Structure 1
Amino acid sequence: MAATIAGLPHTMRYRADLGVLFDSHTGTFHRLRNGVAQQMVALASSGVTRQGVIDGISHRYRVDPATVADDFDRLLRTLATPAPPSNEHRGSLLEVDKRFDATLDFPLRLEIELTAVCNWNCGFCYNVWKIDPTLSDHDIRRVVRDLPEKHIPTDLAKAILDECVERGCFVIRYSGGETLLHPDAMDIFNHGGQLGLYQVVFTNGHFITAERATRLADANVRCVLVSLHGDRDQHNQLAGHPRAYDKAIGAMQVLLDAGINVVAELTLVKENLAGALDVIRDVYRLGVREFGVMRYVPTGRHDDRYGIPVSVTLPMMRDIDELTATECPGMSVAWPCAQKLCTSDIDTPIRADDPTLALRFSQLVGHCESGMVWASVSYDGQLRNCPHSNVYFGRLADHPVAELWPTLTDRVHAAVATRDSCSGCAVAAACRGGCHLSSFFAPKTTIGLGIPAVGAASATHTDR
């Protein structure tokens, strides 16, 4: 764990290989682009005193110590100054700066799927135990019920958190199934909080109470993403639960009251396309100021029922932009999972003078970072680049993340080269073709009878 840097909040952590400081309480990333600033912070984070930093830098560069002292103090003041209110909500939606083209030695963020169990029955769920297109809803429920291990072992989850702290992973996101159905979920959150990790929880809200919200805040769970896919009737129908909407809305309110940042997340499918703006209005009235719109991710199961074309994105972005400018000022809306910047069903290069570029960059987060900046751990303890993928790179009960990560990230970097059809696009480097799931997705998995490993034909084919 990084040493406390005098003059900075004790929650600051430093990643020297990237020149990145992170505040594990506010979720704020600071990229140090100046080499001298990086050396100052590296010295300070290693336990060198203020005077030691000043003496070391002044000797190295033969600069007056008083000048170095002034520069160092100014740097610390800048880093300790809270972000302006206008940027308050950008952190959890847009997350960390994406400009890491070199291979990282260890991820900056990690997503841990705590459990395969869920009390909802969303037909569009992307979870990997639900992607066999031959299974009926009844069969899916049977398979999940019969899984020999439904939850990640608590000791393994804690060991992963310990490794993350040691290796400079700053953000942990927990998912499921329904995350809070892991029997030791709070124990795991408490462990991560004691380690000083910035923690994010994805939930359907069903098990969030005022008392539990307070406990989450005490465990340094700084952000909670709550699923909401329509108005009361539509959301209940899509979730397959008669109280889903009221539970989600109630959860958002008590989480906000506990001082936790709330992000409402909507999976965009054919059935809720027309009412998506009304969902934004509903959560805005509660006080939620972040909203994520994720298009349904095709998995080969119910794609015809739920799938919508990429081309719906830009028209909806225009409507959202108007909504946030008029009825919902201060609301940040983003489209997770690397929506294509060209928002086209086929690759359509964008010119640098395209008048919609500003709008696109206001809501689209650019290329997918999975396997480049972050990775995912499945409920049965396997490492993968993305929680949507069913291609794995090893079991963490047998190998630490640091041992498996290099193979994973090398595969991803090889897969995200710009496609020929994107040639000439002004934003190709930022987009990299959007989602690259198809390069890491093995279709027709026989659920419960084994998971395809790296080396399967479908896992090694790269079409991006």
Structure 2
Amino acid sequence: MTATIETLVATLRYRPDLGLLFDPKSGTFHRLRNTVAKQMVSQIFSGADRQTVIDTVSNHYRADSSVVAADLDALVTTLTTAATAQAAPHDRALQEIDKRFDTELDFPLRLEIELTAVCNWNCGFCYNVWKIDPTMSDRDVRIAVRELPEKHIPTELATAILDECAEKGCYVIRYSGGETLLHPDAMDIFEHGGRLGLYQVIFTNGHFITADRAARLAAANVRCALVSIHGDRDQHNHLTGHPRAYDKAITAMQLLLDAGINVVAELTLVKENIAGALEVIRDVHRIGVREFGVMRYVPTGRNDDQYGVPISVTLPLMREIDQLTATECSGMTVAWPCAQKLCTSDTDTPLHADDPTLALRFSQIAGHCESGMVWASVSYDGQLRNCPHSNVYFGRLADHPVAELWPTLTKRVHEAVTTRDTCAGCAVADACRGGCHLPSFFAPKQVTGLGMPSLGAESVTGISG
């Protein structure tokens, strides 16, 4: 049985504070809900051999050692078998949100790192305009990005963050941009994370994916790629401002799938592509993609009238998507990430437990946001924030480790995420929590130029620097 225990330790990662095991190949979490199971696994990951675990548990509970041995063997076999079975190509992506962490975590389970501010596309709906004066034109934005003194997160900072994550039990790393692969050392960073055994996800427009690069990503334990696609060929190319954007995205998805990397096609829903959303799902389904994300345009202050989509379009489109996946695109999972309100209403509209649309809503809407509760985001200039859509920061990671800044961040988020009075009586209030909590998280901050917003006299971190 020693070899099996060794396999368990080699295959899975363990957070003893949460009784949580993680498979870095499949991205699967295993919760240990039994006190004895937690005690056994904690001893195993502390270096105890099989007999030591049996003796310790038997003595503590005054139990028959043969019974304890059988229970231990069954536990280890179950966990190692599950890990082996799930470490297969085309794993399910991390669309699902774990909503069972209502207490403050000592350290996040997931982290998003924005590697660069640079992108070869020119999407007017890009949420990175959180960092930009909303009065600037698209041309001025491009100029301002080019003139940034530092356009990419320093490689040594990125790898130091990965080192801390591996040590502290932050198991999932997602990389974004800009265009993620435009960081000059992106592949080196991914390979460093792979050597640490981290489950890695990249967000990309696909422009720089080749067969060789896809194979290299897979070897670095990049298990999932979220590829942006916002319409058919003409529409996507128009929205991105690039004449080959659609073909590059489709080709990239095929290459990534061929390399054994799961692909999630990501569509930003804007006024122009609502009518064509179903056709995009058909397009990616034909090439083998089986996960699709729909994210409503995030208001930024720039071009909101041009791109903004009312939340009322959500449920009708969900019905059409449900019909499409049932009749034409079998096996396709569609999710609306980024804290869509379960009531899909601009004004809070409590839902009743007998509402016939609840099943449909839960089949596509992920539920409340856990930014700042389970995960956090690092900006391209190395600042910690709760969410990549946020322009409020908690400190620089060049000066302070994540472990030092995270407690203040998560405390503020837990204080902000409370059920509104207008949601009282809603049967799914706990699952929804009112959708995105950014509007109520902090008072609006004035953004000037391309610099980060001033926090004024209020100290967000309580740490100097």
Assess same fold via TM > 0.5: yes
Q: Which residue does 2:362 correspond to in 1?
A: 361
1:191 aligned partner: 192
Instruction: Give the match's secondary structure for 1:411.
Output: helix
Question: For 2:78 and 2:374, how far apart are their aligned partners in 1?
Answer: 26
Shift of 1:267: 0.3
Which residue does 1:80 correspond to in 2?
A: 80
SS state of the match for residue 78, structure 1? helix
Question: Do 1:128 and 1:389's aligned partners in 2 also have CA atoms closer than 8 Å?
Answer: no
Code of the residue aligned with 1:25 in structure 2: it is K
Match of 2:104 in 1: 103
Partner of 1:48: 48
**Structure-2 residue corresponding to 1:421:** 422
CA distance in 2 between partners of 1:58 and 1:107 (Å): 34
1:373-393: per-residue Cα shift (whole Å, max 9, x none)? 000000000000000001000
Amino acid of the residue matched to residue 24 of structure 1? Answer: P
Q: Where does residue 10 of structure 1 map in the other structure?
A: 10
Matched residue SS, 1:222: strand
Contact 1:390–1:441 (CA<8 Å) still a contact in 2? no
Residue aligning to 1:386: 387
For residue 360 of structure 1, report the CA deviation from its aligned partner.
Answer: 1.1
Query: Structure 1: which 4+ aligned runs deviate by more than 6 Å?
Result: 87-90
Alignment of 1:344-359 (within 5 A): 344-359=345-360
Deviation at 1:362, TM superposition (A): 1.1
**By how many angstroms is 1:250 displaced?**
0.4
- Give the whole-Å Cα distance in 1 for the aligned partners of 2:221 and 2:112: 16
- Counterpart of 1:53, as a letter, is V
Distance 1:352 1:7 in 2: 45
> Could you tell me which residue of structure 1 aligns to residue 339 of structure 2?
338
Q: What is the rounded CA distance, in whole Å, between the counterparts of 2:25 and 2:94 in structure 1?
A: 16
Say whether the 8 Å CA contact 1:389–1:441 is kept in structure 2.
no
- Residue 76 of structure 1 aligns with an amino acid whose one-letter code is V
Query: How far apart, CA to CA, are the structure 1 residues paired with 2:318 and 2:82?
Result: 30
Which residue of the partner structure matches residue 183 of structure 2?
Answer: 182
Give the structure 2 partner of residue 21 of structure 1.
21
Structure 2: gaps spanning 5 or more residues: none
Q: Deviations over 1:59-85 (max 9, x none)?
A: 111111111111112222222234889
Match of 2:285 in 1: 284
Change (3 A) 1:269 1:159: same
User: CA 1:413/1:434 → structure 2, altered by over 3 Å: closer, same or farther?
Assistant: same
Amino acid at match of 1:55: D
**Structure 1: runs of 5 or more not aligned:** none
Shift of 1:334: 0.7
- How far is 1:283 from its partner? 0.4
1:322 alignment partner in structure 2: 323
Match of 1:244 in 2: 245
Whole-angstrom CA distance in 2 between matches of 1:441 and 1:77: 52
CA deviations over 1:66-123 (Å, ceiling 9, x no partner): 11111112222222234889x9978424245221000000000000000000000000
What's the CA shift for 1:46?
1.2
Moved more, 406-415 or 69-78: 69-78
Q: Secondary structure of 1:74's partner? A: helix
SS at match of 1:408: helix
**Structure 2 Cα separation of the partners of residues 456 and 304 of structure 1:** 32
What is the CA–CA distance in structure 1 between the aligned matches of 2:145 and 2:444, rounded to whole Å?
Answer: 19
TM-superposed deviation, 1:41 = 1.0
Name the residue aligned to 2:450: 448
Kept after mapping to 1: 8 A contact 2:376/2:387? yes
**What SS does the corresponding residue of 1:127 show, helix, strand or coil?**
helix
Once residues 267 and 52 of structure 2 are traced to their aligned partners in structure 1, the CA distance between those partners, rounded to angstroms, is 51
Per-residue CA deviation, residues 320-356 of structure 1 (Å, 9 max, x unaligned), is 1111111111111111101011111110111111111
Structure 2 equivalent of residue 116 of structure 1:
117
Shift of 1:310: 1.1
Greater Cα shift, 197-206 or 48-57: 48-57
Q: Deviations over 1:200-250 (max 9, x none)?
A: 000000000000000000111010100000000000000010000000000
Structure 1 pair 5–338 and aligned structure 2 pair: CA distance change class (3 A): farther
Q: Distance in 2 between matches of 1:448 and 1:288?
A: 37
Q: Which range moved further: 16-25 or 437-446?
A: 437-446
Contact 2:97 2:366 in 1 (8 A): no
| Deviation at residue 450 of structure 1 after TM alignment | 4.2
Which amino acid in the other structure matches residue 160 of structure 1? I
Q: TM-score, normalised by structure 2?
A: 0.94
Distance in 1 of aligned mates of 2:138 and 2:171: 37
Closer, same or farther: CA 276–445 of 1 in aligned 2, 3 Å: same
- In the TM superposition, residue 453 of structure 1 has moved relative to its aligned partner by 2.9
Is the CA contact (8 Å cut-off) linking 2:90 and 2:260 kept in structure 1? Answer: no
Q: Could you say what secondary structure the match of 1:94 adopts?
A: coil
Residue pairs, 1:169-318, within 5 angstroms: 169-318=170-319
* Amino acid corresponding to residue 428 of structure 2 in structure 1: V
Contact 1:390 / 1:451 at 8 angstroms: preserved in 2?
Answer: yes
Instruction: Determine whether 1:39 maps to 2:39.
Output: yes
Letter of the 1:452 partner, please give it: S
What is the rounded CA distance, in whole Å, between the counterparts of 2:457 and 2:407 in structure 1? Answer: 16
Quick check: 1:324–1:331 contact (8 Å CA) kept in 2? yes
Distance in 1, matches of 2:175 and 2:456, equals: 24
Contact kept in structure 2, 1:112 and 1:378, CA below 8 Å = yes
Correspondence for 1:395: 396
TM-score w.r.t. length of structure 1 = 0.94
- Deviations along 1:433-455, whole A, 9 cap, x unmatched? 11112124745411334432375
For 2:165 and 2:256, the matched residues in 1 are separated by 26
Tell whether the 8 Å contact from 1:133 to 1:444 is kept in structure 2 after alignment. no
Q: Tell me how many residue pairs correspond in the alignment.
A: 455
Distance 1:216 1:441, change over 3 A: farther
Deviations 1:242-264 (A, max 9, x none): 00000000000000000000110
Is residue 56 of structure 2 the alignment partner of residue 67 of structure 1?
no
In the alignment, is the contact (CA less than 8 A) between 2:338 and 2:369 conserved in 1?
Answer: yes
1:140 alignment partner AA: V
CA distance in 2, matches of 1:454, 1:198: 37
CA distance in 2, matches of 1:363, 1:243: 30
Give the superposition deviation at 1:9. Answer: 6.6
For 2:134, the equivalent position in structure 1 comes to 133
Q: Report if aligned partners of 1:265, 1:292 keep a CA contact under 8 Å in 2.
A: yes
